[in-house]
Amino acid sequence: MNILIVGSGLYGSICAYELGRQGHTCKVIEKRAHIGGNVFTRYEEAADCHEHVYGAHIFHTNSEKIWNYIRQFADFNHYVNRVKVAHGDALYSFPINLLTLYQVFGTRTPEAARERLAAELVANDNPANMEEFC
């Protein structure tokens, strides 16, 4: 069977690979000048490093089956994304988690964090924008 796949990102590339393994003929079309979609990485020889053209690539799974499957296509390192937000003179963990609430309020347990957040809540039944909603 002839199959047309639009896009050579992760889904399109692996779909073409698996269908090809099953004997189908696939044609993949891509609007960009490269394959890989948003996980495309360009090697910069002068700097001896890889440039993540569309942002960092982080692959998450807790499935050993999926992890073993995807590793046949690329080598992975053990990078962990640890985002921080600067506000005033302080750095905070982000996205907001229990550590962030400890940094802001000094709370140490989920229960204490819930209580503190409830105490800080400002009722607004008719927010005018996203900031007011949050």
Task: Look up the pTM and report it.
Answer: 0.58
Q: How many angstroms separate the CA atoms of 89 and 1, rounded?
A: 62
26-57 confidence digits (pLDDT tens)? 999 999 999 989 988 888 888 898 888 887 77
Cβ contacts of residue 102 below 8 Å, gap of 6+? 108, 113
pLDDT tens digits, one per residue of 60-109: 899 999 999 999 988 887 777 788 999 999 999 999 999 999 999 999 99
